[in-house]
């Protein structure tokens, strides 16, 4: 049985930790946890432990919370009765001496199909980029960003109405079968790591509030993917009638249904839509509604906004939202250029 040091700070790791504490206990056992320091959280901004620390304390494990890893932490890691360190959403960059501190090294569970989306926001970026599949990669940590050799991956499909929240939950669960397959091989020296195709690497960055901009001049599939990928944070937001309205879920009107927008028959025209003006509508023009959402003209195709939220309100299905926040067909929603989320080289580190 492998003795593990776990390094992580995000609830995405909880299914994996629970599995190690129960069914996976014969394969690997966590003997200590490293996580971020306690920070203010919630409405009251009271200092409180994160979910990983709470899990560790509930299981009687020692917890280390350095604000910055130093020589004392390195000495503690080397003296721990452990063989391998497992990292998942820790929040610290590990220097080479930390990476090599334990006999079997330091492994990372990265939430993408490497070499795609190395960096800080792989879950959101995969969805926002319109991918139909993502996954978790088990890799050796090396000094370069997410560039280590990969042992295995666990794949997760992305559906057209999946947001980052749903895919994060699926990826959290995907860590369990991935480690169930690989930890026994690691313990016996049979786990093979394969170098990534570095020429195919792409990079993502830490997201910011401004990434929630919406540019209706973009094609409808691009906008729907962006809205879903950035939900729940930073969330795409559009100023409507002087209020920032959050967009919680979107898709595109099917191609055959778009043709119906040009039919003036009451049976096929969306509620409130001016069918005769759809063909020449400016991007961002509210076209009306159908049974599933608010229809808005895009640079190509029709975007369907399924969930919306006004300031101080709840995220609501479009029909419920529009009962308290009516939008007349012909209203033109403003556009803001979309910041780039993906690059061929690592993004510069932004200092606060």
SS3 sequence, 147-210?
A: CCCEEEEEEEECCCCCCHHHHHHHHHHHHHHHHHHHHHHHHCCCCCCECCCHHHCCEECCCCHH
Range of the domain at 290: 214-324
pLDDT tens for the chain, 352 residues long, are: 899 999 999 999 999 999 999 988 899 999 999 999 999 887 778 899 999 999 999 999 999 999 999 999 999 999 988 999 999 999 999 999 999 999 999 999 999 999 999 999 999 999 999 999 999 999 999 999 999 999 999 999 999 999 999 999 999 999 999 999 999 999 999 999 999 999 999 999 999 999 999 999 999 999 999 999 999 999 999 999 899 999 999 999 876 566 556 444 344 445 444 443 566 799 999 999 998 999 999 999 999 999 999 999 999 999 999 999 999 999 999 999 999 999 999 988 665 4
pLDDT value of residue 41: 80
- Predicted confidence at residue 25, as pLDDT, reads 84
Whether 150 and 228 map to the same domain: the answer is: no
Instruction: Provide the number of structural domains found in the chain.
Output: 2
Residues 64, 134 within the same domain:
yes
Give the span between the Cα atoms of 247 and 135, in whole angstroms.
25
pTM comes to 0.92
Do 185 and 231 reside in the same domain of the chain? no
Tell whether 347 is covered by a domain.
Answer: no
71 domain-assigned: yes
Q: Rounded CA gap, 163 and 226, in Å? A: 9
Decide if 341 is inside a domain.
no
Q: In terms of domains, do 173 and 28 share one?
A: yes
Could you tell me if 40 and 95 lie in one domain? Answer: yes
- Greatest distance between any 2 Cα atoms in the chain: 77
Is residue 338 in some structural domain? no
Q: What is the pLDDT of residue 352?
A: 43
Last residue of a domain, one of 204, 227, 259: 204
Looking at the fold, whether 76 and 195 belong to one and the same domain comes out as yes
23 phi and psi angles, rounded to 5 deg? -65, -35
């Amino acid at each position: 049985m492998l003795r593990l040091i776990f390094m992580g700070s995000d609830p995405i790791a909880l299914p994996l930790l629970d599995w190690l504490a129960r069914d996976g206990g014969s394969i690997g056992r966590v003997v200590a946890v490293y996580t971020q320091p306690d920070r203010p959280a919630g409405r009251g901004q009271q200092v409180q432990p994160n979910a990983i620390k709470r899990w560790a304390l509930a299981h009687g494990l020692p917890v280390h919370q350095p604000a910055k890893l130093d020589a004392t932490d390195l000495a503690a890691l080397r003296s721990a009765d452990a063989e391998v360190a497992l990292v998942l959403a820790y929040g610290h960059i590990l220097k080479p001496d930390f990476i090599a501190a334990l006999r079997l090294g330091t492994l990372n569970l990265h939430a993408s199909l490497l070499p795609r989306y190395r960096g800080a926001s792989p879950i959101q970026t995969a969805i926002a980029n319109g991918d139909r599949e993502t996954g978790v990669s088990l890799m050796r940590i090396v000094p370069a960003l997410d560039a280590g050799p990969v042992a295995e991956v666990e794949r997760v499909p992305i559906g057209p109405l999946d947001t980052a929240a749903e895919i994060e939950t699926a990826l959290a669960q995907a860590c369990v079968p991935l480690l169930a397959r690989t930890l026994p091989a690691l313990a016996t020296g049979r786990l093979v790591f394969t170098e990534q195709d570095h020429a195919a690497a792409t990079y993502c960055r830490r997201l910011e509030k401004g990434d929630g901009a919406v540019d209706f001049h973009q094609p409808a599939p691009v906008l729907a993917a962006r809205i879903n990928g950035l939900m729940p944070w930073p969330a795409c937001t559009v100023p409507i009638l002087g209020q920032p309205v959050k967009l919680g879920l979107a898709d595109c009107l099917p191609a055959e249904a778009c043709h119906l927008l040009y039919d003036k028959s009451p049976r096929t025209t969306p509620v409130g839509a001016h069918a005769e003006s759809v063909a020449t509508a400016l991007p961002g023009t509210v076209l009306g509604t159908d049974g599933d959402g608010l229809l808005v003209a895009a640079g190509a195709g029709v975007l369907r906004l399924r969930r919306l939220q006004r300031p101080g309100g709840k995220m609501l299905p479009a029909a419920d939202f529009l009962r308290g926040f009516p939008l007349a067909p012909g209203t033109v929603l403003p556009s803001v250029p979309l910041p780039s989320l993906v690059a061929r080289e690592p993004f510069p580190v932004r200092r606060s």
